[in-house]
Structure 1
């Protein structure tokens, strides 16, 4: 009898469990179904609206519609409307050119440019050794006034860079003004390969090491390692890293550079939309045991901000200059579409090893120093640059040469710093310190990209 009761109870419990499971499954399934229906309905509504607009326009528009251009602008609009300021759509040509630049098939003429706010022309802030521009005698401080038949006043910085590129052996005609003269020169430049180092270094006051990192590329870590070894071997007592106008680059490269300098710890996390976090990079126990200072400004962004934040958090570095741009997100590599175009979207937030995010806020500096009004860093030699002078004073304090009170009076030049990446006056992603950079050494002996993405 007891056995029969036990079997009955077991059957009853099993039936109840099955019923509960079925009910829960149905509830979840209905929720998924409702969400799916809502999503389908929303998409159908979007497609219907677009079809309605298209039908009306084609029936009434006076001008002829170019369907290829229309499709590109629809795609641009979609990416602009997804609440992702870093999302990007590439037309078939833009994506093809991007790949060609990355693969070294599209070459510049060997200069870095900014859009000069005073003249509207393209101002040369760096000339790469061994490049076509260097061979023709184009100098830092020159102004490119025309590319082909196009006045550069009518072009953005990116527009100028694009027009200056071409395949190996092809030519481009440019017109330029040498600094201090009023006579324009027109030359035909032939595209050939050249080395574009991303790290330059020299000593300051024969005491401190100055390292300019223009962007984080595929060879930056090896270049930085070489530069730091050369400087420490020469007996410098502190390191100043100039990240001004460094708009980022490869995140993996920045992590490798950070690992070279700081001790053991987590460098960066990725935080995804569901709240989960993943460690992106960690540093080992090896480090450079010297005081460090990072020079930053409003164009210091993304991977460069992570570099500065990590050196401050993990090595006690001081930040000098002005507040950084505030781009702390991670974008996926461009996804190629069936017609040859491509899209890229933000996939995660970038967090420092302290699990802090600087996206939208930027990094505040320890010593704020602004340049004189209507000037940019390229207007100054290192010995005259107020931000560099303050960095030297901070290095004096960190190494015990002087007190903080003594250093606070150095580099007091004030005004408005060049800020907000992407505005006129901002540098190309690989622009360096132009006129002052010629006095330093390049770390390209240990590597350098054959043609940088943002070099012209």
Structure 2
């Protein structure tokens, strides 16, 4: 993602990607360049190939291109004839692979659309989460999202989806069902549902654009303390506003402390991570990004923190990129105690571009450093209190997500123990430079 939005067109969106999701900046090429390519290559697949080459040539963070002769790569790419865009896709991917950077990658139109939908934090559909029930083997509603057509129509968790627009869901996978349910906002869809204690019934709904909840929060009474537990799943375009609502709502309920759960969060929009850091930090640095020319940009807190209450942050090996920016900022500024496993270790920034045929390109354009100047790439952030779950504990939490954020969750339980310490604020000031390492199986609460 781009650390300097003002260098790019207004259509760009800055993002950071993690272990699972990547991020991007969206851009559209200037009209002069586009006319030139079209005149020379007549909108052939070669135009797409050269479009990709030009972006990498202009933006890629490594000016040596991994010791590759990038000019020779262009000559090789344009010397070939491509009978289809698919053939061009293969050549593009082979050329990008030589850069040795898994985050600089080409996406076909479907992959690009999936990424943009994910980072937008919106979907067009009816607003349900589904699963294939392990016992019944039937497609079952897990949740109807707030303010969605599904919730307004009375769909409930546990409802079985028997048919979608007349097509039976027997043996249907969740992904296949999702493709049938999603569609353009304003279009109709019919579901046949089965509910315990009620005859099978039909519902006709109208698809809508739905904001996907990426922040979930609850008030927990832990002994004599009220704790606001917030789980952030990814840094989408709506993540910061959802986080703001969560902090304000919990603060209004007079919590004594917060637990921010970033476990499994793969990253997302760079700007979202900066905005959320500012909700917890009143002053101090957040992140520094450096491009291939050595130009750096520092993002800092701006005295807009929503709370100064004690904070514990939970992380694991799948907390990546934007999650690590937020964690690094809170840790380096001694604003929070970080608990859990070593984070993923991705300190690279991508920009994502929409290409002429609807495909996309993610390009690494910068390296980032924590406020203390630490390079976490391939290393990750070491928690203040390192607690690695056993395989059995990981399986238990994965199979029963309701246990997350409870006393059956060893990392959360440790956070509560730390937050219950009356000398919490002083313990942050005296945080050791190296983390404690604690086995979760050894913890007793």
| Aligned equivalents of 1:351, 1:79: Cα separation in 2 | 25
Q: Secondary structure at 1:289's aligned position in 2?
A: coil
- Calculate the TM-score normalised by the size of structure 1: 0.62
Matched, 1:391 2:415: yes
With over 3 angstroms needed to count, the CA separation of the structure-2 counterparts of 1:164 and 1:364, relative to structure 1, is farther
Structure number with the higher strand fraction is 2
Measured after TM superposition, the shift of residue 115 of structure 1 is 9.6
With over 3 angstroms needed to count, the CA separation of the structure-2 counterparts of 1:240 and 1:68, relative to structure 1, is same
Q: Show CA shifts across 1:303-354 (max 9, x none).
A: 12211221111134122232222222111132x3333433121101121111
| Aligned equivalents of 1:152, 1:87: Cα separation in 2 | 39
Contact 1:245/1:298 (<8 A) preserved: yes
Matched, 1:211 2:230: yes
1:84-123 aligned within 5 A: 84-92=101-109, 94-95=111-112, 107-112=124-129
With over 3 angstroms needed to count, the CA separation of the structure-2 counterparts of 1:276 and 1:353, relative to structure 1, is same
1:110-149 aligned within 5 A: 110-112=127-129, 126-135=143-152
Measured after TM superposition, the shift of residue 47 of structure 1 is 5.0
| Aligned equivalents of 1:248, 1:271: Cα separation in 2 | 19
- Residue 381 of structure 2 corresponds to which residue in structure 1? 363
Contact 2:122/2:209 (<8 A) preserved: no
- Residue 357 of structure 2 corresponds to which residue in structure 1? 339
With over 3 angstroms needed to count, the CA separation of the structure-2 counterparts of 1:120 and 1:128, relative to structure 1, is same
| Aligned equivalents of 1:384, 1:409: Cα separation in 2 | 17
| Aligned equivalents of 2:423, 2:194: Cα separation in 1 | 44
| Aligned equivalents of 1:208, 1:135: Cα separation in 2 | 31
Matched, 1:44 2:44: no
With over 3 angstroms needed to count, the CA separation of the structure-2 counterparts of 1:357 and 1:41, relative to structure 1, is closer
Q: Show CA shifts across 1:91-132 (max 9, x none).
A: 345546766787899503323568999999988665312324
- Residue 60 of structure 2 corresponds to which residue in structure 1? none
Match of 1:326 among 345, 348, 373: 345
Measured after TM superposition, the shift of residue 214 of structure 1 is 2.5
Q: Show CA shifts across 1:65-99 (max 9, x none).
A: x7243233333443344322112323345546766
Contact 1:241/1:295 (<8 A) preserved: yes
Measured after TM superposition, the shift of residue 154 of structure 1 is 8.9
- Residue 376 of structure 1 corresponds to which residue in structure 2? 397
| Aligned equivalents of 1:413, 1:112: Cα separation in 2 | 36
Q: Secondary structure at 2:375's aligned position in 1?
A: coil
Q: Secondary structure at 2:376's aligned position in 1?
A: coil
- Residue 13 of structure 1 corresponds to which residue in structure 2? none
Q: Secondary structure at 2:272's aligned position in 1?
A: helix
Match of 1:221 among 233, 240, 244: 240
- Residue 269 of structure 2 corresponds to which residue in structure 1? 250
With over 3 angstroms needed to count, the CA separation of the structure-2 counterparts of 1:325 and 1:75, relative to structure 1, is same
Contact 1:173/1:187 (<8 A) preserved: yes
Contact 1:89/1:342 (<8 A) preserved: yes
Structure number with the higher helix fraction is 1
Q: Show CA shifts across 1:33-61 (max 9, x none).
A: xxxxx65445434555x56xx7xxxxxxx
| Aligned equivalents of 1:76, 1:174: Cα separation in 2 | 40
Work out which of the two has the higher radius of gyration on C-alpha atoms and give 1 or 2.
Answer: 1
- Calculate the TM-score normalised by the size of structure 2: 0.63
Q: Show CA shifts across 1:269-300 (max 9, x none).
A: 11223444221x11134543222101222322
Q: Show CA shifts across 1:366-420 (max 9, x none).
A: 231426252335533343541322221121136569x9xxxx9997489xxxxxx
With over 3 angstroms needed to count, the CA separation of the structure-2 counterparts of 1:99 and 1:283, relative to structure 1, is closer
Gapped regions of structure 2 (runs ≥ 5)? 1-68, 428-436
| Aligned equivalents of 1:271, 1:258: Cα separation in 2 | 19
1:170-249 aligned within 5 A: 170=187, 190-205=206-221, 207-249=226-268
With over 3 angstroms needed to count, the CA separation of the structure-2 counterparts of 1:275 and 1:73, relative to structure 1, is same
- Residue 185 of structure 2 corresponds to which residue in structure 1? 168
Contact 1:175/1:186 (<8 A) preserved: yes
Q: Secondary structure at 1:232's aligned position in 2?
A: helix
| Aligned equivalents of 1:115, 1:248: Cα separation in 2 | 27
Q: Show CA shifts across 1:170-202 (max 9, x none).
A: 356789998x99x99998764223343333322
- Residue 273 of structure 1 corresponds to which residue in structure 2? 292
Is the deviation greater in 369-378 or in 388-397? Answer: 369-378
